[in-house]
Structures are given as C-alpha cells and as structure tokens.
Amino acid sequence: MLSKLSATLSGKRHTLRHALWFWLAVGTVAVLVVAVAMSPAFKDLLEQAVEWATEVMAQHPVAGALVFFVFSAVSAMLAFASSVVLVPVASEVWGKPLTVLLLWGGWLVGACAAFGIGRLAGPLLARIGYADKLETYRGYVSKRMKFWAVLLFCIAVPSEIPGYLFGTMRYPFLKFLAAMALAEAGYAFGIVVAGESLAIDQPMHFLVAVAVLAVVAVAAGLALRARKHRTRHLPRR
C-alpha cells in the first residue's frame, strides 16, 4: 500500500513538473513573439511588405485572391507553408469578411485534399515524411470518436494533421468536414483580426486575439489529453 501511495505521489510530482515546464515554455515563447512583433524593425519591415503586396494585389485583385486561396489550401496540407503572413495585406485589400472567407475556404479545401490523400494513398505519406508525425497523434483518435471529440482534436493539433490522419482511418468524411469547418472558422476569424490589428498598429487588439487563440488551443489540447487518460482507464468488457 505504501509503495502504491509513493508511486502515486511520484507520478503527481512528475505531472506537476511537466505542467510547470510546459507553461514556462509557452510564456517564454509568448514574450518572444510579442517582443519581436512590437519591435520597430519588425514594424518597419511589415509596413514595407504590406505596402508592396497591397499594391500588387490591388493591381490584380482576382489573381491575388486566387493565389491567396490556393496558398491557404496548401498551408492546410504542408507544415512548412503558411498563409498567415499574407493576412494583413489581404485584409487591407479585400476587407476583413472576404479575407476570413478566403482563408477559411482555402483551409477547408486543403483539409479535404489531405483527407483524400490519406484515404486513397496512405502509403504515400511515409514517403513525404508524415508517417511518424501521424503516429504521434494516432493514440488520440479512433474511427468511432464522437463529434465533439473530433472537434477538440481539430482545434488542438496543427491544421495539416487531421485530414491525413482521419483519411487513413477512413473516418466518415462529412463528420470530419463539419468538425474542421467549425474549428477553422474560429481560427480564420482570430488570425484575420490579429493580422489586421498588427498592420494598423493596434497592439492591444493583436495581443488579445493571439491570447484567445492560444488559450482555446491549449484548453482543447488539455481536454483531449484528459479524454485519452479516461479512455485508457475504462474497464474493458
């Protein structure tokens, strides 16, 4: 009995240390991001990039919208690609509502493409370096997951993961699409608000938007871990 109690206390101390290191890392990254984002050099660079890209997109609005949409779709499939850097410019040219719609729509198209690749060409993922990454998340999902759990997963993990993973599992496509649509809608709105605030030099709005997105993602991740822990300890019939 004493050995069990000692093991339990040791496990709790390990969990507490892990949580403290996690939040310390999150806080450090947040401080660094804010410091860089608020620095004069970064602001000058951003202003120059926004002016250049705004001029290009203003001269070719249709082509610019198409490129932004396609790049958003690609960013939902590949970890190294990101359409976020174009958001301040897109918001300046087309306004917030259309930018949110283009970003959200592009992400969904990319997620659907990733789902199709996972379902029809799963072995291909090993060749492009996703096999090990997907294996890391496989313990959190199952083919019989409830919708709310799928939604939590889509909120908590990088956007390129759910499509490939649920595709390889042959999860029902419409349920996956609905979960991704809800998850990505929140992120699209938050990122556009943050990007627009940064472009027009409203640091408080930027910080609030980034903080809300971070809290939502972390909360979803913690809920997902708790669900996995409960599922692991359920008695098997």
Through-space distance between the first and last CA atoms of the chain, rounded to whole angstroms? 27
CA distances from 17 to 7, 13, 47, 151, 176 (A): 15, 6, 42, 29, 35
Average pLDDT over residues 46-66: 70
Determine contact, residues 162/226, Cβ cutoff 8 Å. Answer: no
Q: What is the pLDDT of residue 7?
A: 53
Closest CA to 116 of 170, 181, 183: 170
Of 5-14, 56-65, 154-163, the range with the highest mean pLDDT is 154-163
Rounded to the nearest integer, the mean pLDDT of the chain is 76
For the entire predicted model, the pTM comes to 0.70
Average pLDDT over residues 122-126: 70
Average pLDDT over residues 56-83: 75
Higher pLDDT, 170 or 59: 170
Q: Does residue 2 register a pLDDT over 60?
A: no
3-state SS, residue 200:
coil
CA distances from 181 to 72, 91, 156, 162, 174 (A): 14, 21, 14, 12, 10
Q: Which has the minimum average pLDDT: 32-36, 50-54, 81-85, 91-95?
A: 32-36
